Amino acid sequence: MSDTPENPGVGDADPGGGADSDGAAEAAAQAAVDEAVASISVEDLVLDLERVSSERDEYLDGLRRLQAEFENYRKAVAKREVDAKERANDKIVNELLPVLDACDGAVANGAADVEPIRNAIVENLTRQGLERLEPAGEVFDPALHEAVMHEASPDVEVPTVAEVLRVGYGWNGRVLRPAMVKTIG
């Protein structure tokens, strides 16, 4: 009998796949990478860089637009919230105007006990933005005055408020109720 096995290489193989097969696979992979690197030119790399830069710029522009849209949305929501609060305040003050008219009427008819209450209401609301519109002697302005009577006069060229029949009110720069007036002119 000879010392060589009948199947050459069967007993000599490494249980992990063999050093020869690992080396061959690594060499083949390195050869593929070398071939891929050799086939890429500088022009191709520049074109790829430009394409990627362009995509990045598009994404950045989209992000900036989205941020601007969100900021505009946030401002619009805040404005709507402020407007809703103002409308709620307007409604409350509008509901108090008949109370003020009743107080004015009572004071005009000699009810002195009502005057301190009327003054307290008017003072508090004035601090919050209420304005009394009492335009006697002013030029008639249809945005601020409601003319219910008119008296012609050749002496007056421009229509002027001759008498205030009902006080008007403004709230934070807006007219809540125009003054009811008699004009002359």
Hey, what domains does the chain have and what are their CATH numbers? 41-128 (3.90.20), 131-185 (2.30.22.10)
Which strands sit side by side in the sheet containing 145-151, from one edge to the other?
145-151, 179-184, 160-166
Does the pTM of the predicted model rise above 0.95? no
- Report d(CA 102, CA 91) in Å as an integer: 18
Neighbour-count burial of 183, counting CB atoms closer than 10 A to its CB (0-12 exposed, 13-18 middle, 19+ buried):
buried
Using 50, 70 and 90 to split pLDDT, how confident is the model at 19? low
Residues sharing a CB contact under 8 Å with residue 146, sequence separation 6 or more, in sequence order: 168, 178, 179, 180, 181
Name the nearest CA neighbour of 125 among 104, 166, 83, 97: 97
Using 50, 70 and 90 to split pLDDT, how confident is the model at 18? low
Give the containing element (helix H, strand E) for 170.
Answer: strand 168-171
- 139: which 2 tokens? 């030029």
Count Cα atoms within 13 angstroms, Cβ side, for 12.
Answer: 8
Mean residue pLDDT of the chain comes to 86
* Per-residue confidence (pLDDT) for residue 10, from 0 to 100: 47
